[in-house]
A and B are shown apart, each in its own frame.
Chain A
Amino acid sequence: MLFLALALAGTSPPEPDDGQATAPPRSPAVEQVSAWIAASGDNHGHAYLIVDKPKARIYLFDRDGTPLRDAPVLIGRAIGDEATPAIGRKSLAEIGPAEKTTPAGRFLARFGRAVGQPVLWVDYADSVALHTIPPHNKEHRLQRMLSPQIDDNRITFGCINVPQDFYRSGVKPMFGKDGGYVYVLPDVKPLETVFPMLALQRAPASKEELAASPR
Chain B
Amino acid sequence: MPLTKIAPVVAIAAASLGLSGCATKQFVREQVGVVNARVDTLEQRLNANETATRQAQSEAQAAGTAAQGANQRIDQLNARVDGLEQRMMKPKRARN
Q: Does B bind A?
A: yes
Question: Is there a chain A Cβ closer than 8 Å to B20's Cβ?
Answer: no
Does any Cβ of B come within 8 Å of A59's Cβ?
no
Residues of B within 8 A of A (CB): 45-46, 49-50, 53-54, 57, 60-61, 64, 67-68, 71-72, 75-76, 78-79, 82-83, 85-86, 91-96
Complex Cα–Cα for A213 and B72 (A)? 36
Q: Given A113-B86, A204-B54, A210-B49, do A127 and B95 touch, yes or no (CB 8 Å)?
A: yes
In contact, A92 and B60 (Cβ under 8 angstroms) = no
| A92 with B92: CB separation less than 8 A | no
Q: Which residue of A lies closest to B82 (CB)?
A: A124
Task: Give min CB distance, B46 to chain A, whole Å.
Answer: 6
Which of A4-12, A153-161, A166-174 faces chain B?
A: A153-161
Contact A215 B82 (CB under 8 A): no
Q: Please provide the 8 A-B residue pairs with the shortest distance between their CB atoms, ordered closest to farther.
A: A129-B94, A158-B95, A157-B95, A108-B75, A200-B64, A124-B82, A115-B93, A113-B91
Give A contacts to B, CB under 8 Å.
40, 42, 44, 76, 87-88, 91-92, 95, 100, 106, 108, 110, 112-116, 119, 121, 124-129, 131, 134, 137, 156-159, 161, 179, 197, 200, 204-205, 207, 210-211, 213, 215
Contact A119 B94 (CB under 8 A): yes
Contact of B92 among A124, A161, A213 (CB under 8 A): A124
